[in-house]
Every structure is written in C-alpha cells, then in structure tokens.
A = this chain, B = another copy of it.
C-alpha cells in the first residue's frame, strides 16, 4: 500500500504539479482511504522522500556497528554511500524527484532538513569516535559537512545528467577528496601501496655530530593536505 501511494503521488505530481495535488487526489488514485496515507506519511512532502527514514536508520546502525579501531572518517564516507545506493536503486524515480525538488521551494526545504539529519548522524559518530581530540567537536562538524557536500556533489551531478554516467566513480573521487583532506589513516588505494599515512616522516633520518643539526626527511604525496604534513613535520621537528 505504501508503494502504491508513492506511485500514485508521483504520477500526480508529474502530471499536474506538487502544489496542485492534494492528499485526497493521491488516496483516490491509489484507491485507499485518507487515514492510510497518514499511517505512512506525516505530510505530502514526506511522500516525495519515502526511503529517507529507512536509510537514516540503516546509516545509524551501520555507524553504531562500525569497528572501534577503524578510521571514523572512512566510516562516515561509507555511511554516506548508503544514501547513494538508495538513489541508484531506482534512477528514473531519483531523477524525477530531483526535478520536482528543484521546482518546489517547499520540497527543497524539506530535503535540506533530511540532509541535515544525515549530517547530524555523521557528526555524532565522528564526535564519539574522536572524543580524545581537543578539536574533536569542531572537526566532527566540519568533516561531516564536507562528506555530505562531496556526496551531494557527485549525486547531483549524476541526477542533473538524467542518471547517465558512472556515479560510483564520481562518488569515489568525491569522497576520496574529503578522505585525503581529513582522514587519520590512508585513503582507500591499491593494496600495493604502503600502509602508512599519506605523509611519511622519518625523524632523525640523517644525524650530524651536533644533535641540533639532526635532519628530518619527509616524503609526501603531492595533494596531501597541508595540515597533515604540518602535523607530521611538527612531530618530527619536535615542537619548534
């Protein structure tokens, strides 16, 4: 019944517009009673995003069960992919909804609320798992926002292109960009690559007779975020 309500609603939204469609129209087309609608959806806006509540639950459970010794940034990137999976499961529906959401300001506002709840879930996970860091709460908010923005960038680009193109590859690139900027451990990469951080510092690699002349050797991939290089250099230089 839930599915037939969604189907009926979208048919009407596309035919005559979201504002011009009433809940009575929807239940009439679906052949069910008005009360049935409200059993599944609190409002007309919610029927446009029928799977987000379920996805949010799935995301929360995924993060709750994520290994304690894993990289929290990688974990929230993986959690964001659950949202993409939901969109990619039905490209036509996703593209139609995207167009509808562009046209109706109320739906855009509703979507922002949904996205905000995903962002809160990611930030909470980062806060919990990064509890030991002095800047943990700030970092959690910034990284969650960056992950959501990267996810939405790849998703929207794909939706704007009518669901054509390799959205998985675009998502890998987008989330990889954030992971490189913020991840505690290495970004996803070939198994052949090394297991260390993106910047590798060898403190005291060359040592002169005078300890003050001790030399630090640093190797960093181009594109490594500056803050990470700085952190590693700082550790190696010893609080200069």
Contact = CB atoms under 8 A, between A and B. Distances in A.
Interface of A: 108-110, 112-113, 116, 135, 137-139, 141-142, 144-146, 148-150, 152-154, 157, 173-174, 177-178, 180-183, 203-204, 206, 211-227, 229-230, 233-234, 236-238, 240
A207 to B, nearest CB: 9
B141 A181 contact: no
B219 A214 contact: no
Contacts of A174: 138, 142
Contacts of A229: 230, 233, 237, 240
Contact of A222 (B108, B214, B219, B226): B214
Contacts of A109: 109-110, 112-113
Tell me how many chains of this kind the complex includes: 2
Given A141-B149, A150-B138, A153-B138, A220 B215 contact: yes
Contacts of A227: 177, 180-181
A218 to B, nearest CB: 4
A239 to B, nearest CB: 8
B218 A222 contact: no
A223 to B, nearest CB: 5
Contacts of A219: 206, 215-218
Contact of A237 (B110, B116, B224, B240): B224
A238 B225 CA distance: 10
Contacts of A149: 141-142, 144-146
B180 A230 contact: yes
A34 to B, nearest CB: 23
Given A138-B174, A217-B218, A219-B216, A226 B145 contact: no
A180 B204 CA distance: 19
A226 B180 contact: yes
A137 to B, nearest CB: 7
A208 to B, nearest CB: 9
A118 to B, nearest CB: 12
Nearest to A189: B213
Contacts of A217: 217-219
A73 B181 CA distance: 15
Given A218-B233, A226-B233, 20 more contacts: A109-B112, A112-B112, A135-B173, A137-B157, A141-B149, A142-B174, A142-B177, A145-B145, A180-B227, A180-B230, A182-B225, A216-B222, A217-B217, A222-B236, A226-B240, A229-B233, A229-B237, A229-B240, A230-B230, A233-B233
